[in-house]
């Protein structure tokens, strides 16, 4: 963000002295205006969230989402709002291959290849409960808290988003994108290599991916995988997510080979 734009935005923010709901709506509208100046296109008018899209190259679309996921009771006090920010990434070419392999209807599964979240990338002490930036609505820290949110987006999320403007990022041997989901990333890389790599490169990668799948499923409990997915703690949820990712990767490779 140009410093002049940020200073003008923060100056307007200081002038607002209204109730919390109005303040949240005003903040979302101002953020929408700010990102629209950068080339993002709004999806509807912001009421409870900011949703904006930008087509960064042929067949690659990014969707920006900013909203408050917590209730006021879940926040430290009534004088703050908690904003979470993320970008959904959509590679239409790769999703077409994946949807065809699984027999999915693109109109039902939606337009998302992966997502990146600001609080995954920003320093932990910048986020509350690992998920939101706290924005003060009163007092002397109003502009500073909002400045932190916008500057964190520019420093931590925007550079990662810009790495994901072309499917060519999947040609790299190593995943260069921090915090990308392992199985989601490698499923898309498998689709990319299926379309663009020579047979030797593709088979070498598939052999490596099969090794990763086997290592996960070897340590899985078959009975747990067959039972309805009801979990008692977060570790079980995470383990099940890993299993499902491995299962999906194996199914995908079997479908396209």
Mean pLDDT in residue range 119-135? 95
Contact 38, 162 (CB under 8 A): no
Quote the pLDDT of residue 153: 97
The mean of the pLDDT values for the chain is: 86
Contact 86, 69 (CB under 8 A): no
Q: Percent of the chain having pLDDT more than 90?
A: 61
Burial of 135 (0-12, 13-18, 19+ CB in 10 A): buried
What are the start-end ranges of the H helices in 15-69? 20-36
Beta bridge partners of 83: 133
Contact 149, 133 (CB under 8 A): yes
- Does this model's pTM top 0.85? My answer is no
Would you kindly state where each structural domain of the chain is located, as residue ranges? 3-163, 171-256
Query: Which residues, at least 6 apart from 112, have a Cβ–Cβ distance to it below 8 Å?
Result: 63, 88, 89, 90
Quote the pLDDT of residue 231: 45
What is the Cα–Cα distance from 113 to 110, expressed in whole angstroms?
9
Quote the pLDDT of residue 173: 78
Please state, in angstroms and as integers, the Cα–Cα distance from residue 67 to each residue in 5, 27, 87, 103, 130, following that order.
22, 10, 12, 33, 15
Mean pLDDT in residue range 217-223? 72
Q: pLDDT of 38-89, one tens digit each?
A: 999 999 888 889 999 999 999 999 999 999 999 888 999 888 999 999 999 9
Q: pLDDT of 87-113, one tens digit each?
A: 999 999 999 999 999 999 888 888 889
């Amino acid at each position: 963000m140009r410093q002049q734009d940020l200073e003008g935005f923060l100056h307007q923010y200081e002038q607002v002295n209204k109730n919390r709901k109005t303040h949240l709506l005003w903040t979302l509208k101002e953020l929408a205006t700010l990102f629209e100046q950068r080339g993002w296109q709004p999806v509807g008018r912001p009421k409870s969230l900011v949703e904006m899209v930008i087509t960064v190259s042929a067949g690659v679309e990014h969707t920006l989402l900013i909203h408050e996921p917590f209730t006021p009771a879940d926040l430290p006090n009534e004088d703050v709002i908690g904003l979470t920010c993320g970008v959904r990434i959509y590679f239409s070419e790769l999703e077409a291959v994946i949807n065809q392999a699984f027999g999915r209807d693109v109109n039902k599964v939606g337009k998302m290849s992966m997502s990146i979240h600001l609080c995954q990338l920003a320093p932990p002490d910048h986020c509350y409960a690992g998920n939101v930036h706290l924005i003060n609505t009163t007092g002397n820290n109003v502009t500073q808290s909002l400045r932190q949110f916008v500057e964190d987006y520019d420093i931590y999320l925007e550079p990662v988003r810009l790495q994901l403007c072309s499917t060519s990022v999947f040609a790299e041997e190593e995943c260069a994108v921090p915090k990308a989901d392992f199985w989601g990333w490698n499923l898309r890389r498998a689709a990319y290599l299926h379309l663009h790599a020579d047979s030797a490169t593709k088979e070498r990668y598939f052999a490596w991916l099969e090794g990763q799948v086997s290592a996960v499923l070897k340590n899985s409990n078959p009975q747990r995988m067959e039972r309805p997915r009801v979990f008692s703690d977060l570790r079980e949820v995470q383990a099940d997510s890993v299993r499902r990712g491995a299962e999906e990767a194996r199914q995908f490779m079997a479908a396209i080979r």
